[in-house]
Amino acid sequence: MNLKAMLEEVAKHYGEKTAIVLGDRRLSYAELDGASNKVANALIKMGVSKGDRVAMLLSNSPEFVVIYFGVAKIGAIAVPLDTKYKADELASLFDDSQPKVLVTEDPLLKLLVPALPGFKYIEYVIVIDLDSPYAGRFLSYQEIMATSSVKRVEVGPGPEDIANIAYTSGPTFNPRGVVLSHQHLVTRAAMLGKGLQQTGEDVAILFALPMHHVVGLEAVLLASISRGSTVVMLSGLSISGLMEIIEREKATIFMGVPFIYILMVRAAEEEGIGHDLSSLRLCCAGGAPMPVGVIKRFKQLYGLDTSQFWGLTEAAAFVACQSIDGTGKLGSAGKPLPGYEVRIVDDNGKELSPNQPGEIIVKGPMLDRYYNNPRATAETIRDGWLYTGDIGKVDGDGELFILGMKKEMIIAKGQNIYPGDIEDVLYTHPKVAEAVVVGIPDELRGEVIRAVVSLKAGEVATEQEIKRFCLGRIANYKVPKQVVFLDSLPRTATGEIRKEDLRK
């Protein structure tokens, strides 16, 4: 099966049932199917064909869903991108994927307009905003909706055709685009929906999980659509707004990163819970290990268990998940889902005994390859096993515990951040001689970013100056929270920087 067939089948069955909600806007399954047909026919008219890439630089919205399925229906390849990225980061991803079409929103387009002439492969730009000052210069999404044919596209993609290139969160300047087929996405959506016992009666909340990321896209959106559930989107990070929407829409399923659960605990402790959340039957948490204290406090305050999950982009969301009945062990990520095998190995690839920490490797539904990156593919997939770079252990009962990362990665508020991306930017500052970025443990955010900088002789700089410099070149969540200046960086006898000293 492919994504086109999946949506058409669900739309035939559920018709006028609400598929997507954002504020006062509601889109039924029939409307989603018809609107995505319009996008598909418009793309065909532009000359977009099977295998062409369509970059989607969009916030969570009904338009995102419509365009995603419109792209899928003609066998083109969707390339969802992080809206927080700056021009240099996007240029790297554009050059790797070479999209024929870019779909974006007015504020983001304003950032890219000066650079667009350099992307010769981008033939068309579609702007979402009706009142955009660029509406006359570029194609208008509203015009496509008003004029394009709603007729179903007859020729669909094959199950093994590429549906999606999902770029991992780093390193941005050395892109790793995870190639996901239609068959993979449809199979995983069905697996997740069944595992969460979703039905057409469920209402899933999409809050603080962007759809350019596989958890928002696969675990919430596609899994829900495969089961005929309703997806309710929220923008911003208002916990009171989240509570209000859960009560108003009678939401049944909520997924979030630990940072959001920490905010929910703090809000309940400081302000109480002023909304009826009794409709919720399932709360899931992932993206980073959830502190046991937060799990316990959330249960005390809200009366709800949290099912922990663990996964990665290369596997299109979950690999392991706790039982949804609340019986999972505190601090664990549960057991591997059906179809997956998990092992813990040492640096030589030898499997370790229970409760011994080592690298987590996975076998099961996963990426076929990284886009345009055979070297990274060979490094990551060995003898059919996906080497994740995460450190964990499996206990005697087969429960997986996540302990950290082999890779030098920082997790801040659920966002995976590679220090190298930030260091690359810091080294372009004219006053910087050396720079190192490390993660510092933080109770609220998980980790915060610390940049340790050594300036060139005779130069003077302030913390704010360095932060402003970074803010203009990388996504705001990558900007260092702390900037520390040292005359020189501490090193070992062999010349390696002693990063642990810098964390202290």
CATH code at position 427: 3.30.300.30
Note whether residue 342 is domain-resident. yes
Q: End-to-end alpha-carbon separation of the chain, Å? A: 52
Note whether residue 270 is domain-resident. yes
CA distance 124 to 460: 45
Clarify whether residues 277 and 332 are in a common domain.
yes
CA distance 281 to 276: 13
Q: What is the pLDDT of residue 45?
A: 97
CA distance 138 to 122: 12
Clarify whether residues 388 and 415 are in a common domain.
no
Show which of 372, 401, 430 is a domain's final residue.
401
Clarify whether residues 390 and 258 are in a common domain.
yes
Residue 494 has pLDDT above 60, yes or no: no
Q: What is the pLDDT of residue 94?
A: 97
DSSP designation for 488: S
Clarify whether residues 460 and 488 are in a common domain.
yes
Clarify whether residues 321 and 417 are in a common domain.
no
Clarify whether residues 396 and 419 are in a common domain.
no
How many CA atoms lie less than 13 Å away from 23 in the CB half-sphere?
7
Q: Long-range contacts of range 345-348, CB-CB < 8 Å, 24 or more positions apart?
A: none
CA distance 366 to 363: 8
Note whether residue 209 is domain-resident. no
| Choice between 486 and 406, residue whose per-residue pLDDT is larger | 486
Show which of 373, 401, 429 is a domain's final residue.
401
Looking at the chain, the whole-number percentage of residues with pLDDT higher than 90 is 76
**Dihedral, CA of residue 53, residue 475, residue 87 and residue 102, to nearest 10:** 30
pLDDT in tens, 430-449: 999 889 999 998 888 889 99
Distances (CA, A) of 53 to 43, 115, 473: 11, 19, 25
Clarify whether residues 27 and 68 are in a common domain.
yes
Clarify whether residues 356 and 449 are in a common domain.
no
Clarify whether residues 147 and 273 are in a common domain.
no
- Number of structural domains the chain divides into: 3
pLDDT in tens, 97-108: 999 999 999 888
The predicted model scores a pTM of 0.89
CA distance 360 to 386: 9
User: What mean pLDDT comes out for the span 207-235?
Assistant: 95
Note whether residue 215 is domain-resident. no
Note whether residue 346 is domain-resident. yes
Residue 131 has pLDDT above 80, yes or no: no
Three-class DSSP category at 51: coil
Q: What is the pLDDT of residue 292?
A: 86
Looking at the chain, the whole-number percentage of residues with pLDDT higher than 70 is 98
| Choice between 249 and 109, residue whose per-residue pLDDT is larger | 249
Domain span at 155: 3-189
Show which of 164, 189, 214 is a domain's final residue.
189
Q: Is 53 exposed, middle or buried (0-12, 13-18, 19+ CB in 10 A)?
A: buried
Q: Tell me which residue of 308, 483, 474, 333 sits closest to 393, measured CA to CA.
A: 333
User: What mean pLDDT comes out for the span 14-36?
Assistant: 97
Mean pLDDT rounded to a whole number for the chain = 93
Q: What is the pLDDT of residue 275?
A: 96
Using the Cα atoms of residue 288, residue 292, residue 294 and residue 295 in order, give the sign of their dihedral: positive
Note whether residue 197 is domain-resident. no
The lowest-confidence range among 31-45, 65-79, 120-134 is 120-134
pLDDT in tens, 364-390: 989 989 999 999 999 999 999 999 999
Q: What is the pLDDT of residue 497?
A: 80
Clarify whether residues 365 and 416 are in a common domain.
no
- Strand-strand pairing, 317-321 and 335-336: antiparallel
Residue 172 has pLDDT above 70, yes or no: no
Which two structure tokens, joined as six digits, stand for 264? 């929910």
Clarify whether residues 35 and 148 are in a common domain.
yes
Peptide bond into 80 cis (omega under 30): no
CATH number at residue 243: 3.40.50.12780
CA distance 285 to 258: 6
Clarify whether residues 458 and 312 are in a common domain.
no
Residue 362 has pLDDT above 60, yes or no: yes
pLDDT category at 130 given cuts 50, 70, 90 is low
Note whether residue 251 is domain-resident. yes
Which two structure tokens, joined as six digits, stand for 345? 């190995």
CA distance 180 to 178: 6
Note whether residue 91 is domain-resident. yes
Q: What is the pLDDT of residue 498?
A: 84
